[in-house]
């Protein structure tokens, strides 16, 4: 895995080259000499975050979360049906 570092200007001038470099390893993009962003291939990103590949998988990961919303007091009133 190779690591590439580009300035923001270099990235803007050759985004295609940066994408190709990201296939070989992370691409660090600097602003004024300081690392500001990292460009990764989607495969590397999915390895890093644990591999949830689509929205259905991501939502399934939250299935065991208990959620009981609290009623907002005073914001509602019973309807008069007379």
CATH number for the domain that contains residue 20 = 3.40.1620.10
Structurally, how many domains does the chain consist of? Answer: 1
In a domain, 69, yes or no: no
In a domain, 9, yes or no: yes
Residues 28 and 60: their CA atoms lie apart, in Å, by 33
Tokens of residue 1, six digits: 């895995």
In a domain, 76, yes or no: no
Residues 40 and 18: their CA atoms lie apart, in Å, by 10
From first to last of the 82 residues of the chain, give the pLDDT tens digit.
789 999 999 999 999 999 999 999 999 999 999 999 999 998 888 888 776 567 777 676 666 667 677 766 666 677 888 8
Task: Sort 10 into a burial class: Cβ within 10 Å, 0-12 / 13-18 / 19+.
Answer: middle
The range of the structural domain enclosing residue 53 comes to 4-60
pTM for the structure as a whole: 0.59
């Amino acid at each position: 895995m190779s690591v590439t570092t580009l300035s923001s200007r270099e990235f803007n001038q050759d985004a295609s080259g940066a994408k190709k470099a990201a296939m070989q390893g992370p691409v660090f993009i600097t602003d004024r000499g300081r690392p500001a962003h990292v460009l990764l291939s989607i495969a590397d990103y999915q390895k890093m975050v644990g591999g949830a590949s689509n929205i259905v998988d991501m939502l399934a990961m939250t299935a065991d979360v208990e959620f009981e919303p609290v009623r907002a007091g005073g914001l509602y009133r019973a309807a008069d049906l007379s």
